[in-house]
Every structure is written in C-alpha cells, then in structure tokens.
C-alpha cells in the first residue's frame, strides 16, 4: 500500500510540475493553434469549380481575341501543337498557363508537344482538368489542331554582277513547293470561329457540366 501511494504521489508531482512548466511556457510564448482542414462540402466544391469555370471561359474568349495561335508549317495534316517553336501556345496550354502552372506547359511541350487531350486518361493534365471547372470532354473540344499554313515569302538576294556596272536582277520571291494553303488571316478566321462555337457550348452546358465536374472532383479527392 505504501509503495502504491508513493507511486501515486510521485506521478501526481510529475504531473503538477509538467502543468506548471506548461503554464509558464504558454504565458511566455503563445503556442500556435492547430486546426484540422475540413473536407469541403459538395456545395463548396461546386461553387469553387463554378468560379474557376467562369474564369476559363473568359480566358478562352481573350485568347481567341488575341489571335496568337500556334503556326503549323510542317504537317500537311492539322497538327496538335501544345506550343510552337516561337512559344505560341494552343488554347488549352494557355488555360494551364493562366492557372500559373507554366512548368507543366513547358514539360508537356518538351516531352509530348503533339498531345491530344482526348487521349489523356491520367497524369498532371488530367489533374489540372479536374480542378478547372471544365470536363475533360470539354477540354478536348477546346483543343483544335493547327492547320498547315502557307509559309512566308522568302526573298533570296541576287548575286552581285560579275561585270562591273552590270544591272542587278530584281530578287524573285521563292515559295515552298506545296499546294495552296491558309495564310495567317484565314487561319485566324478558322480558329476564332471554332473558339466562338466552343464558348457558346460551354456557357450553354454549364449546369450539366458542373454536375459531372463535381462528381469527378469528389471521386478523385475522396482518398486525400
């Protein structure tokens, strides 16, 4: 009995000492308050995705207005180009860039520049799409392969005349030996018409698409 009481008092003394030290510490240095992030409700997720979707549609509209689209001079067939050699981004790459994920744009253009979003089933591009407020089907619909364009006229300088004071021939424009193709203006008209149609579709389908986007976001984040 004596041993048990001694142990009890011993534990009590340690406990009181700990409390006293703890109170002293709290008085001297306020301890940070620990909070646990709550899982967002379905309503909160929908509101978040709705806001992001509206941003994406506005960005798509601005992108179409800018007319800064990738230039395809190499493939006779329309070519998916996440980013062309001059740094011009496709519509989807522009949306990813506007979300501040420039590293993903650069990585994709380096490793898989011809990516077709309709074929993406996993990875960072899908992760981005899940939080974009758009469905992956809509992302694929936004993407439009770049049609082949007519190359710019290349003027070859004439060689200097072999005889002094001989007339210099007028330079002759040299074109690549290809069939008639779209020029810059025609390419822009084609792509702007496409983006205008897609923008209308996105606005019309907002409620139904958000239903799908919310379910997919919740499913992807249920184990996180």
By C-alpha distance, which of 201, 161, 189, 184 is closest to 88?
184
State whether residue 171 is helix, strand or coil.
coil
Domain assignment present for residue 168? The answer is no
Q: Average of pLDDT values for 194-201?
A: 98
pLDDT in the model for residue 164: 55
Evaluate whether residue 92 is within a structural domain.
yes
166: in domain = no
Q: Looking at residue 183, what is its pLDDT?
A: 85
User: How many whole angstroms separate alpha carbon 173 and alpha carbon 140?
Assistant: 40
Residue 141 forms part of a structural domain: yes
In total, how many domains does the chain have? 1
Confidence band of 155 (pLDDT split at 50, 70, 90): very low
Average pLDDT over residues 156-177: 50
* CA 144 to each of CA 64, 67, 69, 112, 193: distance values in angstroms, whole numbers, following the listed order: 12, 14, 10, 16, 11
| Residue 64, domain extent | 42-153+181-221
**172 within domain boundaries:** no
pLDDT band at 151 (very low <50, low <70, confident <90, very high): low
Using CA atoms, how far apart are residues 206 and 134, in angstroms rounded to an integer? 9
Separation between Cα atoms, residue 188 and residue 193, nearest integer Å = 8
* Residue-wise pLDDT tens digits, 61-100: 999 999 999 999 988 889 999 999 999 999 999 999 999 9
User: Does residue 86 belong to any structural domain of this protein?
Assistant: yes
Q: Report the alpha-carbon distance of residue 224 to residue 216 in Å, rounded.
A: 14
Evaluate if residue 118 carries a pLDDT over 90.
yes
Q: Strand, coil or helix: what is 173?
A: strand
Find the mean pLDDT for residues 196-215.
98
Q: Give pLDDT tens digits for 122-146.
A: 999 999 999 999 999 999 999 999 9
**Of the candidates 201, 200, 219, the residue with the CA atom closest to the CA atom of residue 211:** 219
Distances (CA, A) of 198 to 113, 144, 154, 193: 22, 11, 36, 9
Instruction: Reply yes or no on whether the pLDDT at 21 is more than 80.
Output: no
Residue carrying the six token digits 């009181």? 16
Residue 184: what pLDDT? Answer: 87
């Amino acid at each position: 009995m004596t041993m048990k009481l001694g142990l009890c008092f011993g534990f009590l003394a340690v406990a009181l000492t700990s409390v006293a030290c703890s109170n002293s510490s709290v008085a001297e240095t306020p301890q940070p308050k620990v909070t646990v992030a709550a899982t967002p409700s379905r309503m909160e997720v929908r509101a978040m995705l709705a806001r992001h979707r509206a941003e994406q549609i506005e960005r798509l509209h601005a992108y179409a207005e800018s007319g800064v689209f990738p230039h395809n001079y190499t493939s006779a067939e329309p070519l998916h180009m996440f980013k062309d050699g001059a740094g011009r981004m496709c519509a989807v790459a522009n949306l990813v860039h506007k979300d501040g994920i420039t590293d993903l744009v650069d990585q994709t253009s380096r490793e898989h520049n011809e990516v077709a979003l309709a074929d993406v089933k996993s990875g960072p591009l899908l992760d981005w799409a899940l939080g974009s407020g758009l469905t992956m089907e809509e992302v694929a619909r936004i993407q439009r392969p770049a049609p082949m364009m007519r190359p710019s006229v290349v003027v070859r300088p004439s060689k200097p005349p072999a005889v002094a004071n001989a007339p210099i021939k007028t330079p002759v424009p040299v074109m690549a030996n290809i069939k008639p193709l779209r020029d810059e203006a025609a390419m822009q008209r084609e792509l702007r018409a496409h983006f205008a149609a897609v923008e209308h579709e996105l606005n019309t389908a907002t409620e139904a698409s958000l239903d799908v986007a919310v379910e997919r976001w919740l499913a992807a984040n249920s184990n996180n």
